[in-house]
Chains A and B, each alone.
Chain A
Amino acid sequence: MLLASCANQSPQDSLSPEGPVAREQDKLWDLTFLIAVVIFFIVELLLVYALVRFRERPGRQAAQFHGNTKLEVLLTVIPSLILAGIAVPTVQTIFDQAEEPEGALQVNVVGKQFWWEYEYVDAGVITANELHIPTDTPVHLTLDGVATEVNGERGVIHSFWVPRLAGAQDVIPGRTTSMNIQADEPGEYEGQCKEFCGLSHANMRLRVIAHEPPEFQTWLAEQQEEAQPPADELAQRGQQIFQETCVACHSIQGVTDSPRNVGPDLTHFASRETFAGAMFPLDEENLRAWMEDPPAVKPGSLMPDYNLSADEIDAVVAFLMGLE
């Protein structure tokens, strides 16, 4: 309970690891921080001591010595040895964490402007911003940047970061990188893009949602299904508007024909808790405000204002909120 409340106070705390990857990184921090604090106090106290002890007092002369070779050699060797002591576990962890764990769940991650696309390779599921993973299972992320032109803009560098699960990995156009994450307990882990990527860098958030493995499988199976056709009239009208306007950039399995990946795949949009790069909690009010003028609420958003009327927005909102 106490831990949970702490986590909530600082949901991106890198010093509260919740999985083995972040924990190994944190162990190195604990070691180095301890050594640094000890050195800090020794050196600063020596400094303060010298300032007090050797302050100017009448009748005393300053000692006129030029150095002390033995002491100087000693003070070069000791720091070198301490650093070597830190270097050994550092290099070990670097190599350990570069390995791909066996039996890992494979997910492809693409950093877009300003949101994340996830593809579950084996299950054929594509989703956005909220990455669902099973607990106690290593997850191997393969990260790609956008190298080609999208709506006249080429991709830029992003960085995928969920502090309580793992340190960041840059997502670079034209390069493929990888990282491992793993969560001990079910829960939501917040993160965000960490490489400056333009106007809405601050709004390029993400979250990882960890489930017990059976619940994860249930979630994955639901995501594999196609979208259900809307039942009520308003939502049907929304689907019509969607297919006239939004389809240029967004896919909905079972509704749209050819896959589009300029904007997020919306097949199970309503099953998400947030939208627009995990910037807003998903509810009708926020969604309406978003569709009225996306770049006004999220600077630099590539989704333009389509000048939909209030009625049209209501219809599209009804349609999207039905995509469970």
Chain B
Amino acid sequence: MATVAAPRRGLLARPTAKTGVWGWVTTVDHKKIGILYGVTAFVFFILGGLEAIAIRLQLAQPNGDVLTAEAYNQFFTMHGITMIFLVVMPFGVALMNFFIPLMIGARDVAFPRLNAFSYWCFALGGVFIYSSFFFGGAPDGGWFGYAPLSVQLPGAGMTYYSLGLQILGIASLAGAVNFIVTILNMRAPGMTLMRMPVFIWMVLVTSFLLLFAMPVIAVALFQLMFDRVFEANFFNPAAGGDPLLWQHLFWLFGHPEVYIMILPAMGIVSDVLPTFARKPIFGYAAIVFAGAAIGFMGWGVWAHHMFATGLGPVANSAFALTTMFIAVPTGVKIFNWLGTLWGGQIRFKTPMLFAIGFVAMFIIGGLSGVTHAIVPHDRQQTDTYYVVAHFHYVLFGGAIFGIFAGLYYWWPKIFGRLLSEKLGKLHFWLMFIGFNLTFGPMHIVGLQGMPRRTYTYPDNMGWDLMNMIETVGAVVIAVSILVFLFNAVVTRKRGEVATADPWDARTLEWSIPSPPPEYNFKEIPLVKDRDDWWHRKYAPTPEGEPVRVFAGGADVEADDDDGHGIHLPSPSYFPVVASAGLPVMGWGVVYTAWPVVALGGLVTLLGIFGWAFEPSAEEDH
């Protein structure tokens, strides 16, 4: 760097390492934090996947003896917690982190240190929850943690759950605030709200959902922690508490949470489809407002998780109606994606395959979702494998396929090299087939009466064949992930070097070099259109057909400048210090070791203190 290092003094000097371990630990660069998020989420993806494989091996045959009941309950609980809080959400955040500033024409997020704090809370929160495996048993009451069972369960597992999700919630809240402010305040000149890429819109909606949903689960988790650690009685009916209180709070968070997971994937697909169909998105306004409508309506459907609890016919009818009609904006999105493909010149590159896979699978998940709204029959479906099938079609066929679409699409921008198309297509087809083998038959066994969350089943129930197929499918998915890993490793050194715009894409992140320089944009772009980068490259003929502009605005920013003179936030030690105290406090509470809680609190306070008082930059201006 050409920055002249001024002499550093005092305890609160800012770190200067840009590379190496310290460079990563103290970074506040949104791109590096995005990569940290992605790598960490992928490690948890492997762990959650191994748990899923163990579950499938246990259930491959009736009366399985791969796992004990204890182990099974821990594994299915941790599989759910991992995939939701440590994989799908942070994978989305990884892509948001890297691409929000690039897509809106900004040099970083609004609060770079808060961004780092958010990452470290997520990573350490995940480590905290997983540490339970080594300290007396992981959470074993389901990711949904229904009271009073979650209060009753012996061991420390569910206390880890109540505190670990709390730490992850802090990460999500910090991230949500950061992204909302970034999107509202830091757009390049001319980037009006209705010119933003759909992905950015969906991130905005998702961030508001997080902002309002996380406090709800925080309240419930504190109540659970108090019931477990201090023998409070929030959920104890004998002392005037109510078990259903947990369910209302949990699902008032839990259903918006579903949209928190799926909306970013919808945004990714809404940007990938136009790029590879070489057309603008069909019905931009409708697709944006449908996303916002889902965001609003998502708050009015939570009790459809509780149709068997006996809420009464009036409440059941009301939530049946809201649940049915939230399908309308979802349908609008699907029709608009079809409209985007219509009349296009579709190139079947790997990101496009995953985006199409998303649309095809999400149709199934959406339709099975509507069947949950017919309350009388939902009382047959609820808590069976039919529901497991449904939400995997939404969260795997939907969210995970969407995330892989985003990964393959943006990989060259992030790492400067393209992933292999051959291996990518192999990955897609293996995953697509494995996914349908695993989760398709679950619809059938569910309707045939196989309940979920059971560690075993007898051999005369007619479920044997389907369960065996499901297990084979799970192994195929695992192989597909190995193909992806192999792809990532071999192309790291030998992959095709990416140009700035390898897909001939539409949005601003493709107007700068791959990988982007630390300062992103040498000059902040002046945005004149939706899909601004496309319109800089192509001018319409009088007939409306795009013609390549040969000179002028379509030049990729030359990478000839080292960013001298562009002020960027300096790295900082304090986000990681502030977050490091949180799991320490957690361990203290689990083992009711109050000095440890105090120690953790002190570390966090120190972090916040240093954060507030460290100098804003190294050199004087």
Contacts and interface: CB of A to CB of B under 8 A. Distances in A.
A51 interface: yes
Greatest chain A CB density within 10 A among B153, B310, B364, B377 is at B377
The size class of the interface chain A forms with chain B is: 35 or more
Interface in B518-536: none
A210 interface: no
A200 B243 contact: no
Interface residues of B, number: 97
Nearest to A196: B453
Contacts of A190: 449
Contact of A66 (B73, B282, B381): B282
Given A62-B343, A199-B73, A194 B382 contact: yes
A47 interface: yes
B324 A94 contact: no
Given A14-B447, A65-B343, A174-B242, A202 B69 contact: yes
A64 B540 contact: yes
Chain A at the B interface: mostly helix, strand, loop or mixed? Answer: mixed
Interface stretch (B142-150, B428-436, B585-593): B142-150
Interface string A1-41: 00000001111111100000010111011001100100110
A75 B374 contact: no
A202 B447 contact: no
A307 interface: no
Contact of B284 (A29, A66, A159, A198): A66
B229 interface: no
Interface in B358-409: 359-360, 363-364, 367-368, 370-371, 373-384
A127 B285 CA distance: 62
Contacts of B460: 8, 11
Interface in A131-158: 145, 147-149, 153-157
Contact of B148 (A11, A71, A95, A154): A154
A97 B456 CA distance: 32
B502 to A, nearest CB: 16
A195 B146 CA distance: 9
B241 to A, nearest CB: 8
B5 to A, nearest CB: 51
B237 A54 contact: no
Contacts of A203: 456
Contacts of B115: none
A157 B150 CA distance: 11
A155 B146 CA distance: 12
A83 B461 contact: no
A32 B369 CA distance: 11
27 contacts: A10-B448, A25-B379, A28-B376, A33-B371, A46-B338, A47-B356, A47-B360, A56-B345, A56-B347, A64-B279, A68-B282, A87-B320, A90-B373, A91-B320, A93-B376, A94-B313, A145-B243, A148-B238, A154-B151, A156-B148, A163-B449, A167-B377, A167-B379, A170-B310, A192-B454, A194-B383, A196-B452
Given A156-B148, A174-B241, 10 more contacts: A10-B448, A14-B377, A54-B342, A67-B285, A147-B238, A155-B148, A159-B308, A174-B242, A196-B149, A201-B454
- For the complex of A and B, 6 pairs with smallest distance between CB atoms: A174-B237, A12-B449, A167-B379, A10-B462, A63-B343, A202-B454
